[in-house]
Amino acid sequence: MKYKRILLKLSGESLMGTKQFGIDNGRIAQYAQQIKEISDMGVQVAIVIGGGNIFRGIQAEEGGMDRVHGDYMGMLATMINSMALQSALEKAGVETRLQSAIKMEQICEPFIRRKAVRHLEKNRVVIFGAGTGNPYFTTDTAATLRAIEIEANVVLKGTRVDGIYTADPEKDKTATKYDTISFDEVYAKNLEVMDLTAFTLCKENKLPIIVFDMNKSGNLKKLMDGDKVGTLVSL
């Protein structure tokens, strides 16, 4: 087992599956199975999910809404996704705890670092909802921040593409994939991995990032087995 404790970052859009909006039950069940697979191996799993399939604060601002107001709505969107994944995981027989950066006592625990670590040590999956609890910060930044706080070995960014490319592979057919790349190279080549705040946090705390295709079943387990999947970003 290559990693003992991981932070898995999933985008809200990935939960849509083939839909244009909302949550695809089939996709979320597939994710739950993959997470169960590695949890059963003894890997300690923490998860952060975006909210882009439901609401994006930055788009609301373009429509004339106050950015702070929009960002808080976005945080609530991540909670809807987090609850959906929690339900899918528990249905698959995985003990799961949901912690929110904004207090919502009726549906989850507040984020308490020590409590989160205890859950992980007891082999419970911990989902961190509501981003950082602050406007202007993305869920990528939340994922990085939580990973550092819980002392995760790696941030796994599950996407639709199987790694980092020289250009967008969906638009440019000549784009080639990197197996490994350094933080400095990503900066120099202006590649989009995460937003700059999240990326810099990882670099400063020597926290490696792996970008991989989460939609391909078995990829998560392969990563835990030490197989080469996706792109590794490290110092």
Two tokens at 135? 């406007």
pLDDT, tens digit (0-9, with 9 covering 90-100), for 58-97 = 788 888 999 999 999 999 999 999 999 999 999 999 999 9
pLDDT, tens digit (0-9, with 9 covering 90-100), for 116-164 = 999 999 999 999 999 999 999 999 999 999 999 999 999 999 998 999 9
Q: What is the pLDDT of residue 169?
A: 83
Q: What is the pLDDT of residue 162?
A: 93
Q: What is the pLDDT of residue 228?
A: 95
Q: What is the pLDDT of residue 136?
A: 95
- How many domains are contained in the chain? 1
Q: What is the pLDDT of residue 233?
A: 98
Q: What is the pLDDT of residue 95?
A: 98
Question: For position 44, which CATH number holds?
Answer: 3.40.1160.10
**H helices within the chain, ranges in order?**
25-40, 57-62, 67-91, 113-121, 139-149, 183-189, 196-204, 219-224
**AA letter at 20:** Q
Strand partners, 231: 211
Q: What is the pLDDT of residue 58?
A: 79
pLDDT, tens digit (0-9, with 9 covering 90-100), for 16-62 = 999 999 999 999 999 999 999 999 999 999 999 999 999 988 788 88
Q: What is the pLDDT of residue 170?
A: 82
Q: What angle do CA 122, 154, 235 make, to 5 degrees?
A: 155
Query: What is the distance in angstroms between the CA of the first residue and the CA of the last residue of the chain?
Result: 22
* Separation CA 94–CA 127 (nearest Å): 12
Average of pLDDT values for 171-193? 94
Other C-beta atoms closer than 10 Å to the C-beta of 22 total 15
Report field, pTM of the whole predicted structure over 0.85:
yes
Two tokens at 181? 């790349």
SS3 98: strand
Which range of residues forms the domain containing residue 145? 5-234
Nearest to 30 by CA among 59, 10, 3: 10
Q: What is the pLDDT of residue 59?
A: 80
Radius of gyration of the chain (CA): 17
